Chains A and B, each alone.
Chain A
Amino acid sequence: MEFERREAPYLAPTASVSSIMLQVLLALIPAALAHVWYFGPGFIFNFIIAAAFCVSGEALMMRARGREPALALSDYSALVTAALLAFALPSLTPWWVTATGALFAVVVAKHLYGGLGFNIFNPAMAGYVVILVAFPMHLNLWVAPRMGDIDYQYLSIFETLRYTLTGSLPDILTFDAVSRATPLDAMQSGLKNARTVAEIQTLPIMGDFGGRGWEWIGNFIAVGGFWLLIRKIIRWQIPVGVGLGLMLPAGIMYLVEPGSHPGPGFHLFSGATLLCAFFIATDPVSAATSPKGRLIYGFGIGFLIYAIRTWGAYADGVAFAVLIMNVAVPAIDYLTQPHIVGHYDGDEDPLEPANDGEAP
């Protein structure tokens, strides 16, 4: 009898890129529902537009690179990029703004670097930063969270869709009527105007730790994040690193000067901190790969988020923090190579090996 010739190992692989990306998308669903609940249906429109442009951009780039588009589309990574971008954008965003970010993310940040696996920068964050630079005014249009006691004019699905497609509001409404400062914006401008943290936190948009509504989205992001941790899709080092990098300086500054520095809880539950810790910084392609390296990478992002929020010109610093640390990844990986079993430093005794030694 004749048989097939194969190479060891012969067991079927246990994971696939597609299933990893699908699980990441699944893990985002609770937070997405919360987002729609608190900030209206705009999130859905943003996601659909981002997904359409990410997917078609990827297909076109694969064609242009002489490859089969299905090869890249079947890994669903373009949809993850679209979802992260949709989370980063205000629920009221004109379609061309979303499209610009999505196309830059997939075409420039991803495929011009060689496609999935070769991109140095996190595509979603690169796309977001382009929007931040090109359309800064559009990123200020956050509607107020839907909470019973906040006095606010809500937009219907139709009005939201109309704004997404045309960039204009119904004649009777003004931007001021529908938009509210984000908690981070409110904190930054409040501090600039010499108000204390305690005063600012009495604003109606502020909740127990961060902003109202925002906190709840954060909770659901954390739920999805913990699910990914349990599923071993992500590892603990990056989320913990981001948390420590942000909360250590925040905690120290808060203890020193509580009047002008919001506490670690505010930082954790504001802006995109939790999304970054569990979903953005954990993008394996653009992150460090060794366990120790990931801790350092996460810590760096957390610290930079704090630094930009506290001393920078922008209210939130997640995108910049991630992109800056993306640049540092090769160096981190080089410096944190694990000890190879059986390799000894010059005067180390093989009979007393150090199990956690580090490469020089």
Chain B
Amino acid sequence: MSAPTYDLGKLHGGLRLDSHKQVSTAQPILEVPLPSHLILPLAQHVGEPAHPVVSIGEHVLKGQLIAQHEGSIGAPVHASSSGTVVAIEAWPIVRRLGDKAPCIVIETDGEDRARDVDEADVPYTAMRPEELAMRILEGGIVGLGGAVFPTAQKLMQAKTCQLDYLILNGVECEPYISCDDVLMREHACEVISGAQILLHVLSLDVCFIAVESDKPEALHALADAMTAAGDERLVLKQVPTIYPSGGEDQLVQLVTNREVPSGGLPSDIGCLVQNVGTAVAIHNWINNHEPLISRITTITGDGVRQPMNVRARIGTTVADMVAFAGGYTDVAKQLIIGGPMTGRSVTTDRVPVVKASNCILVLSATPSPGPEKPCIRCGDCAAVCPVQLLPQQLFWYACADDEKHLRSYGLTDCIECGCCDLVCPSHIPLTADFRKAKARFRELADEKARAERARKRFEARSERLAREQQEREAQLAAQKQAARKAGPAAIAEIMRRKKKDRD
């Protein structure tokens, strides 16, 4: 059981990138000291922002619920340490669009006092799967691989489908990032425990744990932990070290040789993917009553003095994190939250670490590739595209804003992995162009929806007017009919009355 089995499927294209991971895996995970302030955004997940249940001036304890989830997709937020709520205000955060969002700011009191655990200590195996899913929701658990989809809702959605496999994603294919690697090395038992809880929620019997072949220490640690657990339901899978094998759909394809349908979810083909970090978070919540208030984050890049992996409280600012890692080097020019292929560049280090922050990457200025040249149709972009799109054709249609062809050539299937950008000899920012084209699609869809609403309103109004007209006519006809029935004397009587009314 301890020997990893290899994957079944094959990924099209992809890139072998310099990993740059060793610099941050040299030392064990370190704990970032408690900062003076914690900034906790209300929206750290996909879906509706949570709504605050604490007020300014209130004292909160570590692990206390401070914002309740809202809507059908959402997750609650918990205080990551004890202290006083000093503000609920807009603060710079990491997002692709817009720079500020509402956050709860806590001034820590340094005591780091935890809340009293009031949940009864019931073993999870005694709970019904639905109950367990509700518990996971209360822990504020979201996907820690980067997509931050609320885990409970993902599980509930998947349970409506015919599932075959749970896949734990420990691939972490993007360069520089190593937080999942060190997590698997140091917390392999917790990964296994989290996987078992997930299997219970999903009532499943097979869990593949997928790890990239360039992480031998993690593979060993997991294999040992699996032997110790003696759980036959868990299978360790080694996937090739190629970017982007850790993309959700790509991993499903690698491990099961099934293709996630366009516009669909892995659950449509019987798979559910969870990040290994999420599994550990679930274990910590269900078995130790510790909600998601901290995570492991990689601080790395040539702009950081001592690259390392740390356990940080959610809400610690990037500035505090980098200061802990020895501060910036003189060459630091770019700050990226996430990896160098898909991460988001931010202009200020005042942004807080959130549940999604797997990596803080500080890089020197990348040399300018020179002016963008025309596409020479070399097709290298198509050769590396993991979805087998034809980026050169998409680029052409994106320039022409040709929605029909963009759709038929699969723009919406683009996973924005950035492979085509890297190999393009003409240095065309393809991924950025595709992102823009997709945003344009959404705009068009919004416009269409607005137009549709206006049309419906207009139609309803016309219908109402027509109906009223009809009713009036019917009334009139009925009156006439009644008058005719009553005879000429009655008509003369009515006319006289009307005349009198007029006078």
The contact of B374 among A8, A16, A116, A355, by CB within 8 Å, is: A116
- Contact check, B410 vs A289: say whether CB atoms are below 8 A apart: no
Contact with A along B418-447 (1 / 0, CB 8 A): 100111111101011001000000000000
- Contact check, B425 vs A11: say whether CB atoms are below 8 A apart: no
- Determine the chain B residues whose CB is within 8 A of the CB of A230 once the complex forms: none
- Contact check, B390 vs A337: say whether CB atoms are below 8 A apart: yes
Q: A2-B348, A289-B392 are in contact. Are A11 and B431 (CB under 8 A)?
A: no
User: Does B324 reach chain A (CB closer than 8 Å)?
Assistant: no
A66: shortest Cβ distance to chain B, in Å?
Answer: 15
Interface hit among A186-194, A221-229, A343-351: A343-351
Interface centre among A9, A340, A350 (most CB of B within 10 A): A9
User: Does B245 reach chain A (CB closer than 8 Å)?
Assistant: no
Contact with B along A318-360 (1 / 0, CB 8 A): 0000000000000001000111111110000011010100000
User: Does B123 reach chain A (CB closer than 8 Å)?
Assistant: no
- Contact check, A341 vs B374: say whether CB atoms are below 8 A apart: no
**C-alpha spacing A1/B349, complex, angstroms:** 6
**C-alpha spacing A20/B380, complex, angstroms:** 12
The chain A residue sitting closest to B336, CB to CB, is A10
- Determine the chain B residues whose CB is within 8 A of the CB of A133 once the complex forms: none
The contact of B347 among A5, A117, A289, by CB within 8 Å, is: A5
A7: shortest Cβ distance to chain B, in Å?
Answer: 4
The contact of A15 among B257, B268, B416, B424, by CB within 8 Å, is: B424
A10: shortest Cβ distance to chain B, in Å?
Answer: 5
Within 8 A of A (CB), among B372-406: 373-380, 382-383, 386-390, 392-393
Q: A7-B431, A11-B17, A16-B425 are in contact. Are A340 and B389 (CB under 8 A)?
A: yes
Within 8 A of B (CB), among A14-49: 14-17, 19-20
- Contact check, B253 vs A350: say whether CB atoms are below 8 A apart: no
**C-alpha spacing A290/B392, complex, angstroms:** 10
Interface hit among B259-267, B462-470, B472-480: B259-267
Interface centre among A19, A116, A351 (most CB of B within 10 A): A351
Could you say which interface size class chain B belongs to?
Answer: 35 or more
User: Does A259 reach chain B (CB closer than 8 Å)?
Assistant: no
B434: shortest Cβ distance to chain A, in Å?
Answer: 11
The chain A residue sitting closest to B318, CB to CB, is A1
Q: A9-B341, A289-B390, A340-B413 are in contact. Are A1 and B382 (CB under 8 A)?
A: no
- Contact check, A338 vs B422: say whether CB atoms are below 8 A apart: no
- Contact check, A353 vs B258: say whether CB atoms are below 8 A apart: yes
- Contact check, B328 vs A1: say whether CB atoms are below 8 A apart: yes
**C-alpha spacing A340/B414, complex, angstroms:** 10
- Contact check, B259 vs A11: say whether CB atoms are below 8 A apart: no
- Contact check, B345 vs A7: say whether CB atoms are below 8 A apart: yes
Contact with A along B349-386 (1 / 0, CB 8 A): 10000000000010101110111011111111011001
**C-alpha spacing A127/B249, complex, angstroms:** 48
The chain A residue sitting closest to B257, CB to CB, is A353
- Contact check, A351 vs B258: say whether CB atoms are below 8 A apart: yes
**C-alpha spacing A235/B378, complex, angstroms:** 10
The chain B residue sitting closest to A287, CB to CB, is B377
The chain A residue sitting closest to B268, CB to CB, is A350
B20: shortest Cβ distance to chain A, in Å?
Answer: 10
- Contact check, A15 vs B376: say whether CB atoms are below 8 A apart: no
- Contact check, A14 vs B341: say whether CB atoms are below 8 A apart: no
A358: shortest Cβ distance to chain B, in Å?
Answer: 11
Interface centre among A6, A116, A333 (most CB of B within 10 A): A6
B369: shortest Cβ distance to chain A, in Å?
Answer: 5
User: Does B19 reach chain A (CB closer than 8 Å)?
Assistant: no
User: Does A285 reach chain B (CB closer than 8 Å)?
Assistant: yes
User: Does B115 reach chain A (CB closer than 8 Å)?
Assistant: no
The chain A residue sitting closest to B418, CB to CB, is A9
- Determine the chain A residues whose CB is within 8 A of the CB of B289 once the complex forms: none
User: Does B319 reach chain A (CB closer than 8 Å)?
Assistant: yes
The contact of A10 among B334, B373, B393, by CB within 8 Å, is: B334
Interface centre among A3, A16, A75 (most CB of B within 10 A): A3
User: Does A118 reach chain B (CB closer than 8 Å)?
Assistant: yes
- Determine the chain A residues whose CB is within 8 A of the CB of B260 once the complex forms: 341-342
Q: A1-B349, A4-B345, A355-B10 are in contact. Are A117 and B269 (CB under 8 A)?
A: no
- Determine the chain B residues whose CB is within 8 A of the CB of A353 once the complex forms: 257-259
- Contact check, A17 vs B376: say whether CB atoms are below 8 A apart: yes
Q: A1-B349, A8-B431, A9-B421 are in contact. Are A16 and B369 (CB under 8 A)?
A: yes
- Contact check, B388 vs A11: say whether CB atoms are below 8 A apart: no
- Determine the chain B residues whose CB is within 8 A of the CB of A291 once the complex forms: 379, 383
Q: A19-B425, A116-B374, A284-B377 are in contact. Are A3 and B369 (CB under 8 A)?
A: no
**C-alpha spacing A2/B382, complex, angstroms:** 36
- Contact check, B379 vs A342: say whether CB atoms are below 8 A apart: no
Within 8 A of B (CB), among A259-299: 284-285, 287, 289-291, 294
- Determine the chain A residues whose CB is within 8 A of the CB of B380 once the complex forms: 15
User: Does B159 reach chain A (CB closer than 8 Å)?
Assistant: no
- Contact check, B269 vs A284: say whether CB atoms are below 8 A apart: no
A124: shortest Cβ distance to chain B, in Å?
Answer: 15
Interface centre among B348, B361, B390 (most CB of A within 10 A): B390
B173: shortest Cβ distance to chain A, in Å?
Answer: 13
Contact with A along B208-240 (1 / 0, CB 8 A): 000000000000000000000000000000000
Q: A284-B379, A342-B259, A344-B261 are in contact. Are A115 and B410 (CB under 8 A)?
A: no
- Contact check, B424 vs A3: say whether CB atoms are below 8 A apart: no
User: Does B175 reach chain A (CB closer than 8 Å)?
Assistant: yes
The chain B residue sitting closest to A333, CB to CB, is B393
**C-alpha spacing A290/B389, complex, angstroms:** 10
**C-alpha spacing A285/B249, complex, angstroms:** 32
Q: A10-B336, A338-B388 are in contact. Are A3 and B346 (CB under 8 A)?
A: yes
The contact of A8 among B345, B371, B373, by CB within 8 Å, is: B345
- Contact check, B262 vs A16: say whether CB atoms are below 8 A apart: no
User: Does B135 reach chain A (CB closer than 8 Å)?
Assistant: no
- Contact check, A13 vs B259: say whether CB atoms are below 8 A apart: no
User: Does B344 reach chain A (CB closer than 8 Å)?
Assistant: yes
- Determine the chain B residues whose CB is within 8 A of the CB of A19 once the complex forms: 425
- Contact check, A9 vs B340: say whether CB atoms are below 8 A apart: yes
Complex A-B, nearest 5 residue pairs according to Cβ-Cβ distance, in ascending order = A117-B374, A9-B418, A342-B262, A3-B335, A15-B425
List 6 other contacts, CB 8 Å, given A4-B365, A11-B340, A117-B373.
A1-B328, A4-B345, A117-B426, A291-B379, A342-B261, A343-B413
20 contacts between A and B (CB under 8 A): A1-B348, A8-B343, A8-B344, A8-B345, A10-B334, A10-B363, A12-B366, A13-B421, A14-B422, A15-B380, A16-B369, A17-B425, A20-B376, A117-B376, A291-B383, A341-B387, A342-B263, A343-B261, A344-B261, A344-B262
Residues of chain B whose beta carbon lies under 8 Å from any beta carbon of chain A: 10, 12, 17, 175, 249, 253, 257-264, 268-270, 319, 328, 332-336, 338, 340-349, 361, 363, 365-367, 369-371, 373-380, 382-383, 386-390, 392-393, 409-410, 413, 416, 418, 421-427, 429, 431-432, 435
Residues of chain A whose beta carbon lies under 8 Å from any beta carbon of chain B: 1-17, 19-20, 71, 75, 115-118, 235, 284-285, 287, 289-291, 294, 333, 337-344, 350-351, 353, 355
